[in-house]
Amino acid sequence: PNGAGKTTILKLLAKITKPTAGKITVNGRLSALIELGAGFHPDLTGRENIYLNGTILGLRRTEIKRQFDEIVAFSELEQFIDTPVKRYSSGMTVRLGFAVASCIEPDILLVDEILAVGDAKFRQKCINRIQALINRGTGIVFVSHNLWLVQSICATGLYLQHGEVKLAGAIGAVIDAYDRALSEQRAQQFESDSADHSSAAEVDIVKVEVVDTAGKPVAEFSNQQAVTVNIHYIAYRTLEDVTAVVRILRSDGLTCCMMRSRLDEVQLDLARGHGVLSVTLDPLQLRGGTYFVQAIIRDTSDLQGLAVMTSDWFYVAGSVLSYSDMNGVFEPNRRWHHDLSVPYENEAHDAAFPPSVALADNLSVAQA
């Protein structure tokens, strides 16, 4: 989290900041990309700053000259290399800084959250370069809030909180601990923000609970488990043909799904007094994570909310995430099938595009 001491550690390793106690030993050439524009002089051109930054990193001028073309090509700043850096955008500055830091082939590369600046294409280019450096034996110290990037790059992780080590070890275990703590924190904040729920004085939702098949509220479910959402309400007068809306939200506020009684052709007439509305999801089928349920009762027109309340947070033990938005939130029941026996019949295609002998040999080997 912010303020945990991540950047401070990098500054200590880079000898930008001196430790107040203890000793830090760095073996090998170290290159750092910690702060935007660090090591650059704004009045100098990109060309001049490459030599300046390379010198700061301990390179001789002949070494910088040998790497110069590669640095410029990687940064994709050929048209601006003789422009003063003060006229660069933040993305251009990051391009030049990363190109210098990575192209000198350091023994250790320090990379802070600075890669969040710039376009997605160049970020992927940087990730590919980092992977290439790792394959050549370069040690990478990578700081980021992007769990997908951390998981893609690192094998070992360090989870810091308030300047103290919470967990160190395999990256999967560290990310899981951090993500779960973060989800619980977000959940508690969301509950606090929703505590002052609205009411139109016609009906009031007094409790929203998520229960298992035995009707017991629990804090953790399997994604293949049936769950029921119970909406406890008090109606202060008879209300005809109202709409119940149930939203399942992830801890970051993303709406995963929304169910409306009216769309499901459920007639809801509330008599004066206490009542419970229930909807069952069987199975739940959410990916692993922390979630809430928000319940809303709307009027006959389905335009005005009469009452709203949010449940306590609950955790779903689902499949392991790779921390990418592309993974979605829904995990359907599925069955895979692969049929290798389907004949291929396309004589016209085969005549126009005959397979090569080498390909035929490869296919024979693969089938064998």
High-pLDDT (> 90) share of the chain, %: 29
Higher pLDDT: 74 or 112? It is 74
Mean pLDDT within 325-341: 73
Q: Are residues 103 and 217 in the same domain?
A: no
Helix (H, G, I), strand (E, B) or coil at 10: helix
Per-residue DSSP letters for 88-141? Answer: S-HHHHHHHHHHHHHHT--SEEEE-GGGGSS-HHHHHHHHHHHHHHHHTT-EEE
Residue 335 lies in a domain: no
Stated as kind and residue range, the H or E segment containing 11 is: helix 6-13
pLDDT tens string 218-243: 888 988 899 999 999 999 999 999 99
43, 111, 140, 193, 363 from 59: Cα distances, Å:
22, 19, 19, 54, 51
pLDDT at 294: 92
Residue 157 lies in a domain: no
Residue 350 lies in a domain: no
Q: What is the mean pLDDT of the chain?
A: 81
What is the pLDDT confidence band of residue 366, given thresholds at 50, 70 and 90?
Answer: very low
What is the pLDDT confidence band of residue 353, given thresholds at 50, 70 and 90?
Answer: low
Higher pLDDT: 188 or 155? It is 155
Q: Are residues 21 and 139 in the same domain?
A: yes
Mean pLDDT within 131-157: 85
Mean pLDDT within 13-29: 86
Per-residue DSSP letters for 256-319? Answer: EEEEETTTTT--EEEPSEEEEEEEEESS--BPSEEEEEEEEEE-TTSSSEEEEEEPPPEEEE-S
Q: Count of CB atoms within 10 A of residue 178's CB? A: 20
What is the pLDDT confidence band of residue 325, given thresholds at 50, 70 and 90?
Answer: low
pLDDT at 156 over 80: yes
pLDDT tens string 258-279: 999 999 999 999 999 999 999 9
pLDDT at 215 over 80: yes
Query: Which domain, by its residues, includes 119?
Result: 6-145
Q: Are residues 15 and 110 in the same domain?
A: yes
Please count the CA atoms within 13 angstroms of the CA of 264 that sit on its side-chain side. 13
pLDDT at 303: 84
Residue 173 lies in a domain: no
53, 84, 85, 100, 328 from 92: Cα distances, Å:
15, 12, 9, 13, 32
What is the pLDDT confidence band of residue 100, given thresholds at 50, 70 and 90?
Answer: confident
Q: Which CATH number belongs to the domain containing residue 294 in this structure?
A: 2.70.50.60
What is the pLDDT confidence band of residue 363, given thresholds at 50, 70 and 90?
Answer: very low
Q: Are residues 123 and 217 in the same domain?
A: no
Per-residue DSSP letters for 300-367? Answer: TTSSSEEEEEEPPPEEEE-SPP-S-GGG-SB---------S------HHHHHHSPPPHHHHHHHHHHH
In the β-sheet with 227-235, what is the strand arrangement from edge to edge?
203-211, 227-235, 273-281
- The Cα–Cα gap between 80 and 368 comes to 56
Q: What tokens does 193 get?
A: 């923000």
Q: Are residues 26 and 135 in the same domain?
A: yes
Higher pLDDT: 348 or 311? It is 311
Structural domains in the chain (count): 2
CA 122 to chain centre: 18
Q: Are residues 10 and 130 in the same domain?
A: yes
Q: Are residues 15 and 141 in the same domain?
A: yes
- The Cα–Cα gap between 222 and 213 comes to 12
Please compute Rg for the chain using Cα positions: 29
Q: Are residues 11 and 135 in the same domain?
A: yes
Greatest mean pLDDT among 36-45, 200-209, 230-239: 230-239
Q: Are residues 140 and 226 in the same domain?
A: no
Q: Which CATH number belongs to the domain containing residue 102 in this structure?
A: 3.40.50.300
How many residues belong to the chain? 368
- The Cα–Cα gap between 73 and 241 comes to 67
Mean pLDDT within 344-361: 54
Q: Are residues 243 and 139 in the same domain?
A: no
Q: Are residues 115 and 25 in the same domain?
A: yes
- The Cα–Cα gap between 246 and 229 comes to 8
- The Cα–Cα gap between 100 and 73 comes to 11
Residue 307 lies in a domain: yes
Q: Are residues 26 and 134 in the same domain?
A: yes
Residue 126 lies in a domain: yes
Rounded to the nearest 10°, the torsion over CA 65, 70, 75, 76 is 110
Name residue 91's amino acid. Answer: G
Residue 193 lies in a domain: no
What is the pLDDT confidence band of residue 188, given thresholds at 50, 70 and 90?
Answer: low
Residue 112 lies in a domain: yes
